[in-house]
Every structure is written in structure tokens, then in C-alpha cells.
């Protein structure tokens, strides 16, 4: 409750106590008849000291109703007491309503801020994975690499950008509970991505034509997984993360491919695990620990 409201409550309580005391004190004194001197009054007061009902054996209520001034003063005190209690209750109700309105307004502001951030923040996701031939290295060797294409589909740029990409060539398909082993040397730090822009990150591994032929004929299974971590432009927001894990399938004549990889096509399909963003990744990690 505000300090001013406390002061008002204390004021009305003190005022109410004063009124009740004044009325009680006034009514406790019997009226002095005309011509009745002080000495006589004092003598009668001593005589009536042992009489709890006061002068003439009258009770407090009888003396109040017999005297018009006392009767009016009594009801004025009662009305003042009721008014004081009502005022105090009104202050309390008004304070609680104001406090509740303030809390609701602050909650609405937080919801609006979160909604604006959700609509304007950066969102990074995989939009393409390509298999391309290395023509500048050793064209006669028919070597290949993988590249992951990221796009910021949000309305604002990223402030930081860190990527990790790791392809794996396995003799069997990855199980559903496959745990990705991270190699720190493959982490690439730093970067910036504007809204509606794309960035391409390549894998360090080089695959031979025979590797791709084995993948095409399903004697081997090629996967690529990784993540991208970034921060948006809004202050006091957590680091964002997008994870991916895809199986790469090869189609076409790998041995007779053109200098730029003509005649070979790579398609990608998401794995059952490892594809998530932000809070979804936390839930997936918890499921993997069960």
C-alpha cells in the first residue's frame, strides 16, 4: 500500500478513537440541573460512586436517549465510525485494483515485447545441401565435397555466427539414438548474416568418385550433421542454435561427370534425430539421456 494511503488510514483511525472517547466521556457525566452548584455535584458524585448505573439508577443507553444532545452525538459518532471504516475499505480496494492493473499492464508489455522479438529476430535454417566437384584442386582425380547453405529468414541480422559441419561415411545407416561426436577443430567462429541472405559453409572432408559410387549403390551411407549458433540484435536474449542431420543420396554417372559435376545430383533427407532449433534442442537432449 502507498505511504499516503497508510497515513490516511492512521488519520481516520485516530479520529474515530477520539470521537468515541469524547462521546463516552461526555455521556459518562450526568447533566447538571439548573441551580445545582459544584459542591453539591461533587457530593452527589461521591454518593453515586458505588452506583454503576449513574444518576438515578439510569443506564448508559437510558441517559443517552433521555438527553437529545447526547442522543444526537451518539449517532453522529456511529455514522462517523461507519464512514471511516468505509473509507478505509475503499482505499484498500482501490490500492489492490491499482496494483492488479499495474501488474496486468506490465505483463501485457512483456507479451508485446516478446511478440515483437519473435517476429523480428533472426532465424537461421538449412535451405540446401550441395555435392560439388573440385575442379581447381586436381581435376583429373574426380574429387568431391559437400556444402551446406544457410539462410536468415528473419527480419534482422545476426550479431555473431559460429558453425560446425561434419560429414560421415558409414557402412550402415545411422541408428535413431546415434550420438554426434563433435570435433572442436571443425568449429568456425565469427561471421554475420543479413536478413534474407544466404551463406555457404563447406566441409573439410574430400570424397573420391568411388566413395560417391558406393553411396549411390547403397554400399555406403553418407551423412552430414552440424549446427549453427548465433545471437540476434535484441539485448538480454539467449544464444540461438539450429541443428541439422541429413542423409545424402547420390544419383547419376559419377565416373563420367562433367568438370563442374554435370550429370551428378545429390539429394538430402532429414534423419530422425538431430534436426531442431532453440528450445527444441534442449528437449531432444533430455530425450537422448533417458
Tell whether the model's pLDDT for residue 25 goes beyond 80. no
Domains, in order of start, for the chain: 3-119 (no CATH), 124-289 (2.60.40)
Q: How far apart are CA 35 and CA 280, in angstroms?
A: 98
* pLDDT tens figures, 222-246: 999 999 999 988 888 899 999 999 9
Tell whether the model's pLDDT for residue 55 goes beyond 60. no
What is the pLDDT averaged over residues 257-284? 90
Give bridge partners of residue 202 from the DSSP assignment.
Answer: 147
Q: pTM higher than 0.85, yes or no?
A: no
Q: How far is CA 23 from the centre of its chain?
A: 57
In terms of Cα–Cα distance, which of 126, 145, 147 is closest to 228?
Answer: 126
Q: How far apart are CA 214 and CA 219, in angstroms?
A: 5
Beta strands per DSSP E along the chain: 124-134, 143-152, 160-170, 187-189, 198-202, 207-208, 221-231, 240-252, 264-270, 276-277
Amino acid at each position: 500500500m502507498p505511504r499516503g494511503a497508510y497515513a490516511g488510514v492512521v488519520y481516520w483511525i485516530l479520529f474515530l478513537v477520539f470521537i468515541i472517547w469524547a462521546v463516552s466521556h461526555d455521556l459518562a457525566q450526568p447533566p447538571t440541573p439548573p441551580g445545582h452548584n459544584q459542591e453539591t455535584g461533587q457530593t452527589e458524585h461521591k454518593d453515586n460512586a458505588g452506583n454503576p448505573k449513574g444518576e438515578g439508577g439510569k443506564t448508559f443507553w437510558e441517559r443517552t436517549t433521555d438527553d437529545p444532545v447526547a442522543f444526537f452525538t451518539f449517532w453522529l459518532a456511529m455514522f462517523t465510525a461507519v464512514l471511516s471504516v468505509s473509507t478505509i475499505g475503499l482505499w484498500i480496494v482501490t490500492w489492490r485494483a491499482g496494483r492488479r492493473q499495474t501488474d496486468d499492464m506490465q505483463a501485457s508489455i512483456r507479451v508485446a515485447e516478446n511478440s515483437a522479438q519473435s517476429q523480428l529476430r533472426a532465424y537461421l535454417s538449412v535451405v540446401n545441401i550441395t555435392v560439388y566437384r573440385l575442379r581447381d584442386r586436381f581435376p583429373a582425380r574426380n574429387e568431391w565435397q559437400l556444402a551446406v547453405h544457410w539462410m536468415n529468414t528473419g527480419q534482422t541480422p545476426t550479431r555473431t555466427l559460429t558453425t560446425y559441419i561434419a560429414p560421415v561415411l558409414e557402412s550402415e545407416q545411422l541408428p535413431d539414438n546415434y550420438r554426434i561426436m563433435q570435433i572442436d577443430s571443425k568449429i568456425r567462429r565469427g561471421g554475420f548474416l543479413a536478413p534474407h541472405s544466404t551463406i555457404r559453409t563447406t566441409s573439410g572432408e574430400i570424397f573420391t568418385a568411388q566413395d560417391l559410387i558406393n553411396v549411390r549403390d547403397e554400399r555406403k551411407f553418407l551423412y552430414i550433421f552440424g549446427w549453427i549458433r548465433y545471437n540476434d540484435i535484441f539485448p538480454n536474449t539467449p544464444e540461438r542454435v539450429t541443428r541439422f542431420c541429413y542423409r545424402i543420396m547420390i544419383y547419376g554417372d559419377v565416373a563420367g561427370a562433367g568438370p563442374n559435376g554435370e550429370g551428378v545430383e545429390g539429394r538430402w533427407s532429414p534423419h530422425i534425430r538431430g534436426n531442431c532449433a532453440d528450445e527444441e534442442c534442449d528437449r531432444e537432449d533430455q530425450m537422448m539421456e533417458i
